[in-house]
Amino acid sequence: MYKALPMVAALAVCAVAAVPTHAATLTTKGTGWQLTTQLGVTSLSPGRQYTITFATSAMKARYTPYLTAAVSQVKAAGLKLAIGGVEAVNPAKCGPVGHIQFTELYRPLGRPGYSQGMPCPYPPKGVGTGGIVAIDSEYWDGTWPMPAYKLRNTLVHEPLHALGLDHPNLDLNKDGKTADYECAANPTGETPVMCSPNGGYRTATGMGRLTGFDVNGLKALLANARAQGIK
Ligand SMILES: [Zn+2]
């Protein structure tokens, strides 16, 4: 009889998880971060492996050094994220579940100097399944020179879109417009790396890293999954 008890307890736990008595409360924005609710992404599975892949081996070689520090931070925040290999990328179509696919296009948004990152829209239960990153090829052909910090921060900003972070811009000065660069800032002046059109640290050691705002957004995506009972 004693041996039967743990199973009864386990079944009871399963029943609670499978039949929630009320909908989970999800938090979709906070100071300096905002989730991509307009595309139905509210959560990231703490148990799922997420992998950054590349359309060519040359792109893998090019982007990996720019992504390494940010990937370490994302992992420290609790998301299983790794830099993976090379696979076919169709920018118009989502890849395998959990993949954040990098490719390059000429002006993917039709605007000079702008790159694109987006999550696969409306994933089941709002749990992000990865997405597409299309970096503007102008960054590499000499036609769109940028300071190093801006390039580095942009290359991190776009995959964070694919994970489900949106721009946290707000009308802070109450002039009726949510403007470019109008984002919460920390005491030393940095805006989130997710600020539109770009933000983040400008120092040699800080550029290409997430700010605390961005880390809080990632943690919210994971916390939402846990609140939904998703592992
Ligand atoms: Zn953006």
Cα(167) to ligand 1 centroid in Å equals: 6
The answer to whether residue 134 sits within a structural domain is yes
Reported confidence tier of residue 5, pLDDT bands at 50, 70, 90: very low
Strands ordered across the beta sheet of 116-119: 80-86, 49-54, 99-105, 130-136, 116-119
Asked whether residue 2 carries a pLDDT value surpassing 70, the answer given is: no
Residue 158 C-alpha to ligand 1 middle, in angstroms?
Answer: 6
- CATH classification at residue 85: 3.40.390.10
The structural domain count of the chain equals 1
Q: How far is the CA of 166 from the centre of ligand 1 (A)?
A: 7
19 found inside a domain: no
Please report which confidence band the pLDDT of residue 13 belongs to, taking 50, 70 and 90 as the band edges: very low
Expressed as residue numbers, the domain containing 52 is 39-223
* Torsional sign, CA 63, 130, 192, 177: positive
Residue 15 lies in a domain: no
> How high is the pLDDT of residue 50?
98
With respect to residue 167, please indicate whether it lies within any of the assigned structural domains.
Answer: yes
Expressed in angstroms and rounded, the spacing between residue 195 Cα and the centre of ligand 1 is 7
pLDDT average, residue stretch 34-55? 98
Would residue 198 count as lying in a domain? yes
pLDDT average, residue stretch 108-134: 97
The mean pLDDT value for 105-122 works out to 97
Give tens-digit pLDDT for 199-219. 999 999 999 999 999 999 999
